């Protein structure tokens, strides 16, 4: 596992945008082995009401998440940035094993170590049940295509 994760802080507008898109692409892989190394070994998370610390707990959390949240597709948008912090808003769509679709909407606050790995992630998320015909994120599973619109296009 490499110690550095470019782009590194302090962030510019362009580097913050690249960091957000890299995180989105990694999470859309739905692979804990790809996502976990982006975080520091002792990274602290608050995800909804769950408190997580370190790679083992992050990996276990992501494994549980994607076993439950099927057909997951995520869009993240930069909200703001400063020095070693980035705030994003996001939406993702997924279904459970009964076939019920959801759109999850939220905000994340990120703090990065000097090596560019995230050392703190605070996420607030709300889930809204949707009908299949209300889905907006219809690209094939995996990375969102470069020409697919972001959250503003969908008024999210």
Print pLDDT tens along the chain (156 aa). 458 999 999 999 999 999 999 999 999 999 999 999 999 999 999 999 999 999 999 999 999 999 999 999 999 999 999 999 999 999 999 999 999 999 999 999 999 999 999 999 999 999 999 999 999 999 999 999 999 999 999 999
Within its chain, how far is the Cα of 150 from the centroid? 14
Position 98 scores a pLDDT of 98
CB neighbour list of residue 155: distance below 8 Å, 6 or more residues apart:
none
Q: Please tell me whether the peptide bond between 78 and the residue prior to it is cis, using omega within 30 degrees of 0.
A: no
Q: Which residues pair with 82 in a beta bridge?
A: 85
* The two structure tokens encoding residue 47: 């995800």
How far, in Å, CA of 68 to CA of 88, rounded? 23
pLDDT given at position 1? 46
Rounded Cα distance between 5 and 35, Å, is 12
Phi, psi of 67 (to 5 degrees): -75, -30
* 141, β-bridge pairs: none
Q: How far apart are CA 51 and CA 61, in angstroms?
A: 10
Distances (CA, A) of 57 to 36, 48, 69, 103, 131: 10, 15, 18, 25, 33
| Topology classification of domain 13-154 | Nuclear Transport Factor 2; Chain: A, (3.10.450)
pLDDT for 55 equals 96
The pLDDT, as a whole number, for residue 2 is 57
Cis bond upstream, residue 7 (ω within 30): yes
Q: What does pTM read for this prediction?
A: 0.96
CA distance 51 to 99: 28
């Amino acid at each position: 596992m490499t110690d550095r994760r470019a782009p590194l802080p302090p962030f510019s507008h362009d580097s913050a945008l690249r960091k957000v898109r890299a995180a989105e692409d990694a999470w859309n892989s739905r692979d804990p082995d790809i996502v976990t190394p982006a975080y520091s070994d002792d990274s602290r998370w608050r995800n909804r009401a769950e408190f997580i610390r370190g790679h083992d707990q992050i990996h276990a959390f992501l494994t549980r998440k994607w076993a439950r949240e099927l057909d997951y597709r995520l869009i993240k948008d930069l909200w703001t940035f400063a020095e070693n912090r980035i705030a994003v808003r996001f939406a993702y769509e997924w279904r459970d094993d009964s076939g019920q679709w959801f759109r999850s909407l939220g905000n994340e606050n990120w703090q990065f170590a000097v090596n560019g790995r995230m050392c703190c992630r605070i996420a607030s998320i709300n889930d809204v049940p949707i009908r299949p015909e209300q889905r907006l994120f219809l690209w094939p599973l995996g990375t969102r295509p470069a020409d697919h619109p972001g959250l503003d296009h969908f008024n999210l």
